[in-house]
Structures are given as C-alpha cells and as structure tokens.
C-alpha cells in the first residue's frame, strides 16, 4: 500500500479547525441517505467525520456515473459553495455517516479571513483536479481491465486494511458501482474481475474484494 494523501481535515491548522467546528452543525446520515442532491443550490459544505460516501452524477439517459468515494476527513460540496452554482453531483451515504455541515456564507467567510484555511481549500481542490486528470488519461489509454485494476489499487490505497494474505478493501462497493466508476458495462467489469481472479491478483466475495498480489494488480493497471 502507498501512503494515503492528506485529507482536508489533515491540511487544517488547529486554530482553523476549531473555527470550522465552531461554525458547524453536527449531522448524522443513515445508509442510503442523501447528503446533497445534484442540481440543488450550494447551501452548505459537509465534512465527513465517520463513514463513507458515494458521489455520482446521472446522465441524460438515466445512467449513474460514479465520480468517487469520500471518507473521514474529506470535504464535500465546496465547489458549489465557492462558485455559487448548483451541485454538480449527488452524495449518498454508503455507511452510517457522521459529519459537520457549514453554511455557505460561513465557509466563504473562513476563506476570506484565514490565509491558512484558504490554502487548505486550494490544496484540496488541486489534489482532486489532479486525480480527475489522471483518471481521464487512464480512460483514454486503458481497456476495462486496466481501468478496473487502477480503481482497485486506489481503493486498496485509500480504503485497504492489511489481512493475512493481502489487503482487504473495506469499502462495500458493488459491481454496478465499479462499472459506473470505470465507465464500463457491468458485464465488462465482471469479465475483468474474473481475469484478475484467474491471475491470482484478487479474491472476490459479495461486496468485498481482497488484493492478493498488489504488484501483479499494478502491472495490470499499468
């Protein structure tokens, strides 16, 4: 496993974190609950404390495209608050989620008042844009097997837990969600997972994937 990138919360200085918490309201979301809706006004940002969240967009023909997954310490909804446009995606709780919600005016005030807070917001945005650029390159250059392998490596790095024979991906992701994340059909993802199992790279169970050969999986992703 590689080192995980710092979350937004990790980027904050202690004073800025206290100020953020002072302006925030505590929220709890059940599994399947929506934290924010695509197309809605950007009225607040949400900082995830516990649990994990799926972020999606819906195409004109009703297909769900997965943009990514957010976990503890990560910020959701900041773009719509910064540019005062509508939400670009829907965020849904995959697990019970505890979070802090900060109203848009308060969040913008923190950016204006604290250079350190503004720097953390900017660094967080840059990281996400770099990740998006990397994925666009992968989509253009790789077939389904490579894209699935790359996403599994990312999940192992960010949501992996060492076990006796490898790295267990703790995020309960389905084949449909993996297909939506890789821009592939469910059938193509199923074939890719079968190939990776045959190669001894992974073991799959219901909503659980274990990476058995990280180097082999990285080779397929490359």
Residue pLDDT tens, the chain, 222 long: 555 567 999 999 999 999 999 999 999 999 999 999 999 999 999 999 999 999 999 888 888 889 889 999 999 999 999 999 899 899 999 999 999 999 999 999 999 999 999 999 999 999 888 887 777 776 665 688 999 999 999 999 989 999 999 999 999 888 899 998 888 889 999 999 999 999 999 999 887 899 999 999 999 887
Token match 């392998």: residue?
A: 149
Task: Supply the CATH classification number for the domain 8-134.
Answer: 2.60.120.10
* pTM confidence score: 0.78
Q: What angle do CA 52, 165, 74 make, to 5 degrees?
A: 20
In Å, what is the CA distance from 60 to each residue of 63, 64, 65, 122, 186? 7, 10, 11, 31, 19
Whether domain 142-221 has CATH 1.10.10.10: yes
d(CA 130, CA 80): 19
Q: Map out the domains of the chain as residue ranges.
A: 8-134, 142-221
């Amino acid at each position: 496993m590689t080192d995980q990138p710092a979350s937004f919360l990790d980027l904050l200085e202690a004073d800025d974190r206290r100020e953020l918490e002072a302006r925030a309201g505590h929220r709890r979301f059940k599994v399947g609950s929506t934290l924010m809706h695509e197309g809605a006004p950007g009225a607040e940002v949400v900082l995830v404390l516990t649990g994990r969240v799926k972020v999606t967009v819906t195409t004109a023909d009703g297909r769900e495209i997965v943009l990514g997954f957010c976990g503890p310490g990560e910020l959701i909804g900041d773009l719509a608050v910064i540019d005062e446009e509508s939400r670009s995606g829907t965020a849904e709780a995959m697990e019970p989620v505890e979070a802090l919600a900060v109203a848009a005016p308060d969040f913008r005030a923190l950016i204006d008042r604290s250079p350190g807070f503004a720097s953390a917001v900017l660094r967080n945005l840059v990281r996400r844009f770099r990740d998006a650029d990397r994925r666009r390159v992968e989509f253009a250059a790789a077939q389904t097997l490579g894209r699935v392998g790359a996403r599994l490596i990312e999940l192992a790095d960010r949501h992996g837990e060492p076990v006796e024979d490898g790295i267990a991906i703790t995020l309960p992701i389905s084949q449909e969600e993996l297909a939506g994340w890789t821009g592939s059909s469910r059938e193509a993802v199923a074939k890719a997972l079968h190939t990776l199992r045959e190669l001894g790279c992974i073991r799959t169970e219901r909503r659980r994937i274990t990476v058995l050969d990280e180097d082999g999986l990285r080779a397929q992703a490359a």
